[in-house]
Amino acid sequence: MMKRYLLAPGPTQVPPEVLLAMAAPVLHHRAPEFAELFGQVRNDLKWVFQTQNEVLILASSGTGAMEGAVANFLSPGDKALVVNGGKFGERWGKICQTFGIKVVELRVEWGHSVDPQAVAEALRQDPTIKAVYVQASETSTGAAHDVKTLAEIVRPRDETILVVDAITALGVFDIQTDAWGLDVVVAGSQKAFMLPPGLAFVSVSPKAWRLAERAKNSAFYFNFIKERDAQVNNQTAYTPAVSMILGLKEVLRMMKAEGLKAMFGRQSRLAYALREAVRAAGLELFPKGVPSDALTVITAPPGIDGQAVYKQLRVQYGITAAGGQDHLRGKIFRLSHMGYVDRFDVIMAMAAVEMVLKDLGHPVALGQGVARAQELLRAGQG
Amino acid sequence: MMKRYLLAPGPTQVPPEVLLAMAAPVLHHRAPEFAELFGQVRNDLKWVFQTQNEVLILASSGTGAMEGAVANFLSPGDKALVVNGGKFGERWGKICQTFGIKVVELRVEWGHSVDPQAVAEALRQDPTIKAVYVQASETSTGAAHDVKTLAEIVRPRDETILVVDAITALGVFDIQTDAWGLDVVVAGSQKAFMLPPGLAFVSVSPKAWRLAERAKNSAFYFNFIKERDAQVNNQTAYTPAVSMILGLKEVLRMMKAEGLKAMFGRQSRLAYALREAVRAAGLELFPKGVPSDALTVITAPPGIDGQAVYKQLRVQYGITAAGGQDHLRGKIFRLSHMGYVDRFDVIMAMAAVEMVLKDLGHPVALGQGVARAQELLRAGQG
């Protein structure tokens, strides 16, 4: 008998209350009850997005919304600046290429945060760039990009939008869509939203809608204008994922009960405690820039294969974490603490990492990292 | 947001698979499908009880089966030897008194295990004693009684039965009903059986059935003969708790997949690791006799109120454990690891106890107990 624990950077743990809500009978999506439900979750989503913009709800993974965030705003031949600081930055580039967009790539060494001045400089060099694509939290490296400062750079430009992949950021740390001026913000259900995979959310600013009116590209399922026109009437263009939306209603109820500030505070406290614990255990954090509070990325110690850590965690301890991707494969391993996570998830994560490293022959003093996490996570601390 | 963790000595954690099985549509209890289900769980229960005896399934808590184990075998005026080594030993005495049984009480200092020779001596002194009532695991103190040796003492006596409350023992450690000759064994759903409260199980030996044929006492709902005559035909005398039995089927499937030996091995390994961790943290285990592997009972350190530990665990950390009862109130606190529990429950329990004791001003080196548990619970250890 081995329990299974999800500490992967998506999908994340789903609260029992949410599983229960999703087990309710399926509503018909053209019934008035659905419109009422849909209206409520649309409103509450705006609260999480900190926006007055429309937030579209899509039956897809986050990547679907990312595709829409390219196809709906740019036309073939348009130029986009893509910040590539990891696997998901790279994905922006691939999507742009698929839709005939000319990509100006700003490469950032994986693990680093982009220098906002490099973005400003790129925009100065090429004023025809219509969109800047970036991650708020680069899930493949654990680094955060400073989208607030990037928005200050992009906001004054009438013909350029800032598109933020906030899939592992929204609900984890403060993303002020309107106050900062983020034009397009993408999120997904299976991260801090504590739902199974299957829903994506995307907010669109008036400036971005203006681009959308003129854009010429192929978008049928991810046609944002069509979706907006349906969703403002609490309808959807195509069949919505009804049970997921029943779950989302419960998620938003839980989020409102906790409050944004308390939620960000909890996530930040857990992330800080795990980072400090990892350091106390004599291990090295991978991100060289600003670490994302969504996940903790640890450099595999010399002589230890990061994939072996990932595998040992899963096979021997029942914990699904994540390894590294592409050239980071074997060099890092990743533990998430997004969403439905509390201090004992962090303590378990640290305890398990210590045990696995010892299993694999790395000299580690069991309990040393754990003790640091315990100290920081005691009642009344932090 | 605070997750809730059940580390109480009942109810215990229910596996998701079991919750799901219990959420299936309710069967009618007189339908053939129910008889088939009931026949299967009856058979599988015999495997857990390690018996060829009938194992009755009752819609009640364990106390209901304890009542039946008095009322069905003894008549008013009969004598019973009751081993009172804790709250549940005391309960045997109270039930006996309710049914007009003359109680010969063998008091054992709470926390100690009964000396089997004291039982032998009491039976020698009064050969009219018809039943010996004892706990295999005394949940109020964390001590186990040696029911195997007690059975060796009682077995040769044709007119005396041994009645074992195995509510927090069965499924935790080896209880060989037939091989040892335990006449009546009582168990409950909300312990190692990983179900919500609501079912009790009781096995009855041929010797006990002979007593039952002659016993004159009031038993309507807990009439074991009536139940046996129904249950051997895969029926029940009264309405069974159908959803609980759907859950029980899944529990027994999980137990068979693990195997009795592996299950006892896991429970023993977890219990041992927590006891060793508690000692490593400089704390004292309460049981002076043989500790039960069902739960770990810790003596509150000098100056620390055991109820404050219990309360701090629950209110500040979301962990429901247990305090002490009666004269042990404030002096001990109890953490269970029965049933659906793995190494991270034990690590969490130890981490939380360290944190709470530090919160309450007790000098404790965070991580010290945890490190011991980690060492003992690493893959390939123990």
Residue of chain B nearest A267, judged by CA positions: B1
Q: Is B232 on the interface with A (CB under 8 A)?
A: no
Residues of chain A with Cβ-Cβ distance to B351 below 8 Å are 344, 347, 351, 370, 374
The answer to whether B55 and B45 are in contact (CB under 8 A) is yes
Could you please report the per-residue DSSP string of A176-222? -IIIII-SEEEEETTTTT-S-S--EEEEE-HHHHHHHHH-----STT
- Using CB atoms, which residue from B366, B375, B377 is nearest to A374? B366
A374 min Cα distance to partner chain B (Å): 7
- For residues B369 and B364, give the distance between their C-alpha atoms in angstroms, rounded to a whole number: 9
A337 pLDDT exceeds 80? Answer: yes
- Using CB atoms, which residue from B23, B348, B354 is nearest to A344? B348
Q: Do B374 and A354 touch (CB under 8 A)?
A: yes
Name the average pLDDT for chain A.
97
pLDDT in tens, A66-83: 999 999 999 999 999 999
Residues of chain B with Cβ-Cβ distance to A349 below 8 Å are none
Q: What SS3 state is found at B195?
A: coil
Residues of chain B with Cβ-Cβ distance to A348 below 8 Å are 344, 347-348
Instruction: Confirm or reject CATH 3.40.640.10 for domain A16-257, answering yes or no.
Output: yes
Q: Is B288 on the interface with A (CB under 8 A)?
A: no
Q: Is A367 on the interface with B (CB under 8 A)?
A: yes
* Mean pLDDT score, A37-58: 98
- Using CB atoms, which residue from A355, A372, A375 is nearest to B378? A355
Task: Give me the percent of chain A exceeding a pLDDT of 70.
Answer: 100
- For residues A341 and B174, give the distance between their C-alpha atoms in angstroms, rounded to a whole number: 36
Residues of chain B with Cβ-Cβ distance to A347 below 8 Å are 347-348, 351
A382 min Cα distance to partner chain B (Å): 14
Token pair 């899939």 in the structure block, residue:
A167
Hey, what CATH topology would domain B259-377 get?
Aspartate Aminotransferase, domain 1 (3.90.1150)
- For residues A148 and A175, give the distance between their C-alpha atoms in angstroms, rounded to a whole number: 8
According to the model, what pLDDT value does residue B158 have? Answer: 95
- For residues A199 and A190, give the distance between their C-alpha atoms in angstroms, rounded to a whole number: 8
Chain A, 250 to 279: residues with Cβ < 8 Å from chain B are 254, 258, 262-263, 266
Residue of chain B nearest A266, judged by CA positions: B1
Q: Is B366 on the interface with A (CB under 8 A)?
A: yes
- On the question of a common fold for B16-257 and B259-377, the answer reads no
pLDDT bracket for residue A382 (50, 70, 90): low
Q: Where are the domains of chain A?
A: 16-257, 259-377
**Residue B380 — φ and ψ, nearest 5°?**
85, -5
- For residues B360 and B356, give the distance between their C-alpha atoms in angstroms, rounded to a whole number: 6
According to the model, what pLDDT value does residue B327 have? Answer: 95
* Size of chain A in residues: 382
Chain A, 334 to 353: residues with Cβ < 8 Å from chain B are 340, 342-344, 347-348, 351-352
- The answer for residues whose C-beta is within 8 angstroms of residue A126's C-beta and 6 or more apart is A79, A81, A104
How far is C-alpha A157 from the chain's CA centre? 26
B54 min Cα distance to partner chain A (Å): 28
Could you please report the per-residue DSSP string of B12-63? ----HHHHHHHTSPPPPTTSHHHHHHHHHHHHHHHHHHT-SSEEEEESS-HH
- Using CB atoms, which residue from A316, A342, A380 is nearest to B3? A342
Q: Is A358 on the interface with B (CB under 8 A)?
A: yes
Pairs of CB atoms within 8 A across A/B: 105
Per-residue pLDDT 10s for chain B (382 aa) are 889 999 999 999 999 999 999 999 999 999 999 999 999 999 999 999 999 999 999 999 999 999 999 999 999 999 999 999 999 999 999 999 999 999 999 999 999 999 999 999 999 999 999 999 999 999 999 999 999 999 999 999 999 999 999 999 999 999 999 999 999 999 999 999 999 999 999 999 999 999 999 999 989 999 999 999 999 999 999 999 999 999 999 999 999 999 999 999 999 999 999 999 999 999 999 999 999 999 999 999 999 999 999 999 999 999 999 999 999 999 999 999 999 999 999 999 999 999 999 999 999 999 999 999 999 999 877 5
The answer to whether A143 and A85 are in contact (CB under 8 A) is yes
ipTM of the complex: 0.92
According to the model, what pLDDT value does residue B382 have? Answer: 59
Q: Do B344 and A366 touch (CB under 8 A)?
A: no
- Using CB atoms, which residue from B347, B359, B372 is nearest to A378? B359
Give the mutation candidate from A337, A347, A364, A368 for the B interface (greatest B CB count, under 10 A): A347
pLDDT in tens, A187-239: 999 999 999 999 999 999 999 999 999 999 989 999 999 999 999 999 999 99
According to the model, what pLDDT value does residue B337 have? Answer: 97
* Mean pLDDT score, A301-320: 97
Q: Do A344 and B352 touch (CB under 8 A)?
A: yes
Strands lying side by side in the sheet with A129-135: A54-58, A200-204, A184-188, A161-165, A129-135, A79-84, A102-107
Report the DSSP beta bridge partners of residue B290.
B144
pLDDT in tens, A259-270: 999 999 999 999
User: Is beta strand A161-165 parallel, antiparallel or unpaired with respect to B143-144?
Assistant: unpaired
- Stated pTM of the model: 0.94
pLDDT in tens, A85-95: 999 999 999 99
Residue of chain A nearest B281, judged by CA positions: A367
Residues of chain B with Cβ-Cβ distance to A318 below 8 Å are 342
- For residues B214 and A93, give the distance between their C-alpha atoms in angstroms, rounded to a whole number: 85
Chain A, 235 to 254: residues with Cβ < 8 Å from chain B are 254
